[in-house]
Amino acid sequence: MGFGISMGIVPLWGFQLVIALFLSILFRLNKALVIVAANISIPPMIPLILFLSHITGALWMGDRAQHISFSQHVTLEMMQNNSAQYVLGAITLALATGTMLGGLTYLGLKIFRKESGNSGSLKNKITLIKLTGKS
């Protein structure tokens, strides 16, 4: 899940899914989960991803950070001035979100498998007791 989310946020527009699928095959990850998670960049989520990427990029830019102005006067020069901040922020956001959600997924699976593993071992013990007749 974490890898798919990271690939959905990383600024490789148009190639995110292809790269995510290739890397999931290379790293032997669950392809279905990677594809589902990489689709975080659907149209309703894009403004949020762009905004959070821009805000996160401000951390790297220091005094040169640009603040978003929601005005009608968006120019090509404005986009060029903000591109470094966006790219740095998007990569940082992708890594942070992927690591956090990957860790949460790992912990969830660890807890879930631990519980089901205990019941499986109890089932084996009961079967063993029935077969041997010992308690």
Say if CB 97 and CB 9 are below 8 A apart.
yes
Quickly list DSSP for 25-90. HHTT--HHHHHHHHTT--TTTHHHHHHHHHHHHHHHHGGGPPPP--SS---HHHHHHHHHHHHHHH
Instruction: Tell me the domain boundaries of the chain.
Output: 2-132
Whether 32 has a pLDDT exceeding 80, the answer reads yes
C-beta separation of 2 from 102 below 8 A: yes
Averaged confidence pLDDT in the chain = 83
User: Residue 65: what pLDDT?
Assistant: 86
pLDDT at 107: 92
Interatomic CA distance for residues 110 and 2, integer angstroms: 15
Residue 125 confidence (pLDDT) = 58
pLDDT above 70 covers what percent of the chain?
Answer: 80
pLDDT score of 43 more than 70 = yes
- Does the pLDDT of residue 114 top 80, yes or no? no
* pTM for this predicted structure: 0.75
> Is there a contact between 68 and 48 (Cβ–Cβ < 8 Å)?
no
CA-nearest of 40, 11, 60 to 101 is 40
Residue 59 pLDDT greater than 70, yes or no: yes
* pLDDT for position 121: 58
**Average pLDDT for residues 109-120, to the nearest whole number?**
68
Residue 51, both tokens = 């905004």
Place of tokens 């959600």: 101
Q: Which structure tokens are listed for 54?
A: 């821009």
Q: CA 79 to CA 74: how far, in whole Å?
A: 8
Report, as an integer, the average pLDDT of 32-47: 88
Average pLDDT over residues 36-60: 90
Question: Is the pLDDT score of 124 beyond 70?
Answer: no
Residues 40 and 57: their CA atoms lie apart, in Å, by: 19
